[in-house]
Each structure stands twice: as structure tokens, then as C-alpha cells.
Amino acid sequence: MSTVDPRRWWALVVLAAAQFMVIMDTSIIGVALPEMQRDLGFSQGDLQWVFNAYVIAFGGLLLLGGRLSDLLGARRVFAGGWVVLIAGSVVAAAASTAWVEVVGRAVQGVGGALIAPASMTLLMMLFAHNPKELGKALALYGAAAPAGGTAGVFLGGVFTEWASWPWVFIIYVPIGIATLAATGLLPAVAPSRGAVDVLGAASVTAGLALAVFAVVRAPEVGWGATQTVLELLGAAVLLVLFLVVQKSVRTPLMPLRVWRTPGLGVSNLAMTLLGAAWIPMWYFLNLYLQQVLGYGAFASGAALLPMTGLLMVFMTLITARLLGRFGAKPLISGGLFVLAAGLVWLAAVEPTGTFVVDVLPASLVAATGMSLAYIPAMMSAISGVPQEQAGLASGIVNTTYQVGSALGLAALTALATSQGADKIGNLPALTDGFSAAFIGAAAVAAAGGLLTAVLMRGRPASPGAEEPSAANSASVNA
């Protein structure tokens, strides 16, 4: 931008709140699932689709959302995404059957897929003029994502215990209306010329959805079953078709040259493995608190507040400074290793454990690792692309995080189940299953730390150094 928007920090509040709400939507329904199952008639195997319908739609359509943000104007797509999210929330809250609930969740995911990349495009427009301000803005924006995921568990417990499960969806209606009213704080973006790559959007969305579907269903039908093998092969064919289309059409959904951006590929790999370790961690930690320690929905959510507080403080006050001093590579790699250490500690939980001994210290170590890695990985992935491709880069990095989360949760759920996590009421068996999931998540995080250390190029920034422009900040920090 040629001029500095005087309302940019107020606009950031709107964008961070949107990021908080979009990510919270993936977690707020967790503690409400048993009541939803009873009221809507979900089978035990199909109940997971309340979560996965959102994640598949969200992760599968983020690239399209990024492209639409670049073509139609980010503020317009941001507002449109909230309209869709509100509509999906109304459907989900009013559902009286299982299939309507799943449809509502999928519509919510479509809205989130429009909001997330548009938010990042607007953030880059507001703060790209000053790398120091951009780092602070990304710290605040980045902190909103993991905080939203953890706060969702807490608020889900509040609504479920003291109201009823539809309120986990109703809450989005007034918040969405307030956000729409505040869009005047956001900068207007002129649409750019171009066409939408319909075939590319269809192939990548279908490929990602089919891959997640196959992994989610594999524990039930068997990993070696013909159905699973065919689904995974079908997903691979669709994703290969997507790459072929991107090389052959005039206006591709994802121009493959974007991957020449320094740090983009490794940063997205790190985000994939970060999501695959972090989301299963809080999922199984919540189950341990409720099913082993006997916490109620509200108490379980409240027990996760120390993690949320640490994430917010660390990301907003510490990570940005460390990023300027040391660069992205050591923070991403080190953060993933710290997360792995916290997960190994959590794996030592006992059937007769306590929150103070078994959960609190280990969860704070894990949250420190997340705080170190998340913002540097995001900034490394998006800050080196041209401004006109900010929506695309944001769509890619959000896609990798969400798909990693879905695949990680599905795979580690299968691991936990094989070790006894499905034996409700048998505390030793449940604990063994949850411990196995924590160990699996630790292995994923450690692999991410090792791959980042080996594959990412980089040099530490000098203490107090200021980069000359936002465009080259990726080369400095990655």
C-alpha cells in the first residue's frame, strides 16, 4: 500500500477475531458430541463426521478461497464468508437429524475457507509497509488460531453444561453479524482480472476430501481393505490431475511457480506436521480429563485455560522478538522438538493421575513449543510471495495445517483405539490408548523438527535488525 491506514490496528482486531472464531469452529463441538449423538441419532462410527465435515470442506476449499480473494477483492470475500458461516451455523443449530447436522457443518467449513485466506490478504495489505509492524501483526493474528482452538473446548463445555448443544452454533450468529458491521474498518481491495480454475478447484477439493475420508474410515473397514486402497488411489489420481491442470490452464488455481518462493515448501511441511501433532494432543487431553480423571465438560475446558494463556502471552510478547533475532528456522525446528518433549511427558499420564502432576506441566511445555513454531512457520510461508498472491499463499498454508490436523487426528485415533481407547470405563485401558496417541503425536512433531532443521535454508537475523521490505523478509527469516 502506498499510504498507511490509520485504522490498521482496529482492522487487525477484526481479522484476529475472525481467525479466532474460524479455528474455534473446529474445536467447540468436541465436548457437545455425546449430547448431539443422543439427540440426532448418530451412530458411534458416524459421529466423527460432525468434526470432519467441517475440516474437509474447510481444508479442501481454502485454495479456492485464496484465489477468489485475489480475484474478487479480499474484503468482499471476507464478508461473503461470514454470510455463509452464519447460514451454516443456523442450519447446524436447528438440525433435527444427523444428515442435516453434517450439511450444516460442511457449510460452516465453506464459510471458513473464504474467511481465512481473505483475512491474511487484508493483513498483508495493512502491514506490509513495515516489516516490524508486520511481525507484531502476525504475532497477534497467529496467536488467535491456537487460542481459538483451545478456547473452543472451554466454551463448548460452558454451553453444553449450562445451556444445550445448539448454542455452540448459535454463538456464531451474533458474532458474525457484529463482524459484518465492522468490515468498514477493512481496506477496500479492487478486484483483479482473471478466471476461476473450476477443474482445478474440483480436483483438489475432491482429492483432499477423499484422502481424509479414507483415513477416517480405515480403522473401521481395515487399512488393507479394497475400499481403503481404492479410496487412497482415487485421492492420489485426483491430486495428480490437479497438478496436471495447474500446468496446462491459463489461469491456474495454484500457479506452481509460487513454490519457488524461498521457504514455502518446507514451511508448509512444518505446518502440516504441527497440525498433525497439536490437534490430536488437545483432543486426547480433553478425553483424558473427562473419561479418566472424571472432569465435567466445564471443568475440562477450564483445565485447558493455562495453555491458552501461555499461548497468547508467548506469541504476542516473545515469539515476534525471537523471530527478529534468530530467524524462522531455529524457532520452527526448536518449537517442534519442544512440542514433542511435552507430548512425551503427557504420555506418562496415569489412570490415578492428577491435573497438577500429570497434565499441567507437560501441557505448558507443549504449548511453549506450539508458540515457538506456529508464527515463524506461517510468516515464512507467506511473507516472500508478491502481494497479489497473498491470498493464495495463505490458502496453501491454512490448507496444509487443516489437512494435517484431520489426517493426524484420524491416524492417531486409530492408534489410540488399537491400544484400548475405545474401552469406556476401563481406566487403565483408556490411559494406555491416550498414552499411545501422545507418543504418536510426539513422533510426528519430532519428525517435523528434524525435517525443518535439515531442509530449511536460513541464517539468523542480527539482533535488532530491521528488514528493508516485507517482500524480502522471507529470505531473512527462512
CA atoms within 13 A on the CB side of 475: 9
Burial of 2 (0-12, 13-18, 19+ CB in 10 A): exposed
Mean pLDDT of 211-232: 84
Q: Output the pLDDT for position 86.
A: 95
Mention every residue, 6+ apart, whose C-beta is less than 8 A from residue 338: 365, 366, 368, 369, 372
Going from the C-alpha of 46 to that of each of 41, 42, 215, the distances in angstroms are 10, 6, 14
Give tens-digit pLDDT for 334-380.
999 999 999 999 999 999 989 999 999 999 999 999 999 988 888 88
- Smallest Cα–Cα separation from 285: which of 167, 406, 412, 158? 412
∠ Cα 168 174 176 (to 5°)? 90
Q: Greater confidence, 300 or 232? A: 232
Cell of 159: 454451553
pLDDT tens figures, 144-199: 766 776 677 778 878 877 888 899 899 889 989 999 999 888 888 777 776 778 88
Helical spans, DSSP H, in 182-225: 198-221
466 or 362: which carries more pLDDT confidence? 362
Distance CA 20, CA 171 (A): 13
Grid cell digits, residue 101 = 447436522
Is the Cβ–Cβ distance between 87 and 107 less than 8 Å? yes
Q: Sorting pLDDT into bands at 50, 70 and 90, what band is 458?
A: low
Q: Does residue 381 contact residue 268 with C-beta atoms inside 8 Å?
A: yes
Cα torsion 93, 52, 81, 124: sign: positive
DSSP 31-56: GGHHHHHHHHT--TTTTTHHHHHHHH
Q: Measured between alpha carbons, how far is 445 from 452 in angstroms, rounded to an integer? A: 11
> What per-residue confidence (pLDDT) applies to 231?
93
Q: Using an 8 Å Cβ cutoff, are 292 and 354 in contact?
A: no
| Residues in CB range of 213: below 8 A, 6 or more apart | 52, 56, 231
Please state, rounded to an integer, the average pLDDT across all residues of the chain.
82
Tally helices (H) and strands (E) across the chain.
19, 0
Nearest-10 crossing angle of helices 131-162, 305-314 = 170
Contacts within 8 Å (CB) and 24+ apart, 89-95: 89/169, 89/170, 89/172, 89/173, 89/176, 90/169, 90/173, 92/166, 92/169, 93/166, 93/167, 93/169, 93/170, 94/166, 95/40
Give the whole-number percent of the chain exceeding pLDDT 70.
90
Structure confidence by residue, pLDDT tens digits, 125-159: 888 777 778 777 877 787 776 677 667 777 887 88
**Which of 164-168, 243-247, 396-400 is predicted least confidently?**
396-400
What is the amino acid identity at position 309?
Answer: G
* Interval 260-297: pLDDT, tens: 777 788 889 999 999 999 988 987 888 898 889 988 77
Give 294's contacts (C-beta < 8 A, 6+ positions apart). Answer: none
Q: What is the pTM of this model?
A: 0.78
- Give the C-alpha separation, 92 to 101, whole Å: 5
* Residues in contact with 233: Cβ distance below 8 Å, sequence separation at least 6, in sequence order: none
